[in-house]
Structure 1
Amino acid sequence: MKQDEPIVDMITRFTDIINGLKEFDRKFTKGKLVNKMLRSLVEDWNSLRMLIENTKDVNVYPLEELYGTLMTYELNNAETKEKTRKSKKEINEPPKRQIALKSTNDERSSNTNMSNE
């Protein structure tokens, strides 16, 4: 996986490679495919990779379910990064200046306005 590559692009590339190898009579078990997919994730995905490896039997874990898990993780991670980015931006922004205008009540001008009417 390339850094900042969407998981859908990685899955497509992975599937193309596997299908190309199948044309050369290369056979893979589901477990082997799941392991290869997990190993190809970049470092940002280590927490999810370790969670899957420790909680699931990767030898029988369906590849389609792994794809769904990866897409869900990416979506949730993107939302979290966006919220973090927005909050950091707000913190780093200098406070906005607000200008308050002082109101004056000039009796002379209000009297002349009334007499002109």
Structure 2
Amino acid sequence: MILIYPYREDGFYAGQPVELFPDAETGKYNIPPYATDKPPEKNGSGMWRPWYDREKQEWIEKADQKYKDSLKGPADPPSAVDQLKAQSAATMVQLAEAQNLIESQAKMIADLLMMLAEGGEA
């Protein structure tokens, strides 16, 4: 018994190996069309989207990064600590903006008071 690896007409792996037994009369294995005895691996590692090249008789990886990313599940929601860090950062930005506004208003008030002290002329 050997394992064979079926692929569809378009060359992509069909998904599960199949057991193949030798012919009772000849003792030889008759691998059907659209199957190979080579596992869908590259350098001993599995593949994301194996495609069989019949001419070269080898599996080729057809998954691009977009395809790989599409198989990943949604990202874990941020933890409570991460949420508090984000809120803290947003609060610090708001505080800095408020401080800048206070400083610019203080300068405007000082300029207006100076104008008034000099007799109201600009």
Q: TM-score, normalised by structure 1?
A: 0.30
The structure that is helix-richer by fraction is 1
Rg bigger for which structure? 2
Higher relative contact order, structure no. (Cα contacts within 8 Å, ≥ 6 residues apart): 1
The structure that is strand-richer by fraction is 2
